[in-house]
């Protein structure tokens, strides 16, 4: 019986700009995505049954088909029915470290790990591009989680262009355990409140009226200039999430007052990160936040940017 252990990193959004709505109900985006070394562990084991089973040590995470990792395995079974019939089912065990519903792609990276792991388990020989295409059927962030590192993502987030990698920039990440933000709610609310600022250009494409600033962030990444990266952080979804969640706004303000390189909500939130100059500064900032917001509900992590995506750790 073969098994694989995979390490599945979370992501943060260094940049998220909503440039328009789309007829399919999604939004046209420009994002800059970055893997971080806060990661889940996924164990995959070929099963003697013909079932796909998911277990997770975090009770917030469902084990049925509403779990995107389960859907990833079902997708592989649908795409490769003969291989599924030959090898049978798969047992998936998720050891959760990434906060759930936090804007950190915790579910998407689990799904990416299942795709990569089942490609190995079933000897499918799929390329990274093919795995990214399968990932796009599961969720907009899954292709990036398959690729990892640093990338610019357009379309609904599934079209990727790699950027020079950013290694070992320290950050402090904060998430209130009891707060969860639905990504669908955040985008829907954005469309209701700010959709009128989109303009239609000569080709009838919908785009936002304001200027695009992603170029400054790309330049900062190319120069590996952490201070400039901190200055150019951007996330349009803050416009809908921060007014509803004052704790998230407060956390962002406390980070900013600690003299970090920059601070921003990740994805649809509610996690907030602060980029730091060094590990020492990250430790000081974490200590400062713990003293200023003495709330048991607030979970704080020190983590770093990383250059890789899913890592396959062992084969038994
Ligand atoms: O693709 P994913 O399932 O992760 O997206 C979750 C929800 O976020 C979608 O159902 C959609 O409502 C919203 N979304 C969007 N535009 C995007 C990505 C996600 O409106 N580009």
Q: If you measure from the C-alpha of residue 216 to the centroid of ligand 1, how many angstroms do you get, rounded to a whole number?
A: 26
Q: Is 48 in the pocket of ligand 1 (CB under 6 A)?
A: no
The pLDDT of residue 207 is 54
User: Predicted ipTM?
Assistant: 0.96
Contact 106, 35 (CB under 8 A): no
The pLDDT of residue 202 is 46
Q: What's the Cα-to-Cα distance from 110 to each of 8, 28, 34, 179, 301, rounded to whole Å? A: 6, 24, 16, 21, 19
Contact 235, 16 (CB under 8 A): yes
Phi, psi of 56 (to 5 degrees): -145, 145
Dist CA 63 CA 93 (whole Å): 10
Strand partners, 92: 44, 54
Q: Is 27 in the pocket of ligand 1 (CB under 6 A)?
A: yes
Q: Is 140 in the pocket of ligand 1 (CB under 6 A)?
A: yes
Active site residue 201: no
Dist CA 46 CA 24 (whole Å): 37
Residues near 37 by Cβ (< 8 Å), separated by ≥ 6?
9, 303, 304, 305, 306
Q: Is 139 in the pocket of ligand 1 (CB under 6 A)?
A: yes
3 state DSSP class of 83: helix
Cis link prior to 61 (omega < 30° from 0)? no
Q: If you measure from the C-alpha of residue 179 to the centroid of ligand 1, how many angstroms do you get, rounded to a whole number?
A: 19
Contact 152, 30 (CB under 8 A): yes
The pLDDT of residue 206 is 52
pTM for the structure as a whole: 0.95
Contact 245, 179 (CB under 8 A): yes
Active site residue 175: no
Instruction: Tell me the pLDDT tens digit for each residue of 111-121.
Output: 999 999 999 99
Q: Which residue has the tokens 């579910």?
A: 107
The pLDDT of residue 52 is 96
- Nearest residue (by CA) to ligand 1, atom 14, is 26
The answer for 123, left when phi > 0, alpha when psi is -120 to 50, beta otherwise, is: left
HSE at residue 7, side-chain half, CA atoms within 13 A, is 12
Maximum Cα–Cα distance for the chain, whole Å? 59
Using the 8-state DSSP alphabet, how is residue 93 labeled?
E
| Residue 104 labelled as part of a binding site | yes
| Residue 106 labelled as part of a binding site | yes
The pLDDT of residue 170 is 98
| Residue 108 labelled as part of a binding site | yes
Q: Which residue has the tokens 């409140």?
A: 193
- Nearest residue (by CA) to ligand 1, atom 4, is 139
3 state DSSP class of 9: strand
Instruction: Tell me the pLDDT tens digit for each residue of 130-140.
Output: 999 999 999 99
Dist CA 287 CA 304 (whole Å): 17
Q: Is 187 in the pocket of ligand 1 (CB under 6 A)?
A: yes
The answer for 64, left when phi > 0, alpha when psi is -120 to 50, beta otherwise, is: beta
Q: If you measure from the C-alpha of residue 17 to the centroid of ligand 1, how many angstroms do you get, rounded to a whole number?
A: 14
The atom number, within ligand 1, closest to the CA of 191 reads 20
Q: Is 107 in the pocket of ligand 1 (CB under 6 A)?
A: no
The pLDDT of residue 212 is 52
The atom number, within ligand 1, closest to the CA of 18 reads 21
The pLDDT of residue 140 is 97
In tens digits, what is the pLDDT along the chain, a chain of 316 residues?
A: 589 999 999 999 999 999 888 889 999 999 999 999 999 999 999 998 889 999 999 999 999 999 999 999 999 999 999 999 998 899 999 999 999 999 999 999 999 999 999 999 999 999 999 999 999 999 999 999 999 999 999 999 999 999 999 999 999 999 999 999 999 999 999 999 988 666 555 454 555 545 557 899 999 999 999 999 999 999 999 999 999 999 999 999 999 999 999 999 999 999 999 999 999 999 999 999 999 999 999 999 999 999 999 999 866 6
The pLDDT of residue 313 is 85
Q: Is 309 in the pocket of ligand 1 (CB under 6 A)?
A: no
The catalytic position among 40, 43, 91, 141 is 141
The pLDDT of residue 68 is 98
Query: First and final CA of the chain: distance in angstroms?
Result: 8
Residues near 179 by Cβ (< 8 Å), separated by ≥ 6?
245, 247, 248, 270
Q: If you measure from the C-alpha of residue 183 to the centroid of ligand 1, how many angstroms do you get, rounded to a whole number?
A: 6
């Amino acid at each position: 019986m073969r098994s694989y252990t995979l390490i599945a990193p979370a992501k943060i959004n260094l940049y998220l700009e909503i440039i328009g709505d789309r007829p399919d109900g999604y939004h046209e985006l420009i994002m800059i995505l970055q893997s971080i070394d806060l990661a889940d562990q996924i164990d995959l084991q070929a099963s003697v049954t013909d079932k796909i089973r998911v277990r997770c040590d975090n009770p917030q995470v469902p084990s049925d088909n509403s779990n995107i990792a389960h859907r990833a395995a079902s997708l592989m079974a649908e795409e490769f029915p003969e291989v599924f019939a030959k090898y049978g089912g798969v047992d998936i065990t998720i050891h959760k470290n990434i906060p759930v519903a936090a804007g950190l792609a915790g579910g998407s990276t689990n799904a990416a790990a299942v795709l990569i792991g089942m490609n190995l388990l079933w000897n499918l020989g799929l390329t990274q591009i093919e795995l990214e295409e399968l990932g796009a059927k599961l969720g907009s962030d899954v292709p990036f989680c398959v690729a990892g590192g640093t990338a610019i993502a357009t379309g609904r987030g599934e079209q990727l262009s790699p950027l020079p990698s950013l290694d070992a920039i320290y950050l402090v990440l904060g998430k209130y355990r009891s707060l969860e933000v639905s990504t669908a709610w955040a985008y829907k609310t954005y469309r209701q409140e700010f959709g009128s600022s989109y303009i239609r250009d000569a080709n009838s494409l919908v785009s936002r009226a304001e200027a695009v600033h992603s170029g400054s962030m790309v330049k900062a990444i190319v120069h590996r200039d952490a201070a400039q990266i901190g200055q150019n952080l951007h996330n349009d979804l803050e416009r809908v999430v921060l007014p509803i969640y004052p704790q998230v706004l407060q956390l962002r303000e406390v980070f900013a007052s600690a003299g970090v390189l920059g601070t921003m909500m990740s994805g649809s939130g509610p996690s907030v990160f602060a980029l730091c100059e060094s590990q020492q500064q990250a430790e000081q900032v974490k200590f400062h936040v713990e003293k200023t917001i003495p709330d048991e509900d607030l979970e704080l992590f020190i983590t770093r940017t990383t250059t890789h995506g899913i890592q396959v750790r062992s084969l038994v």
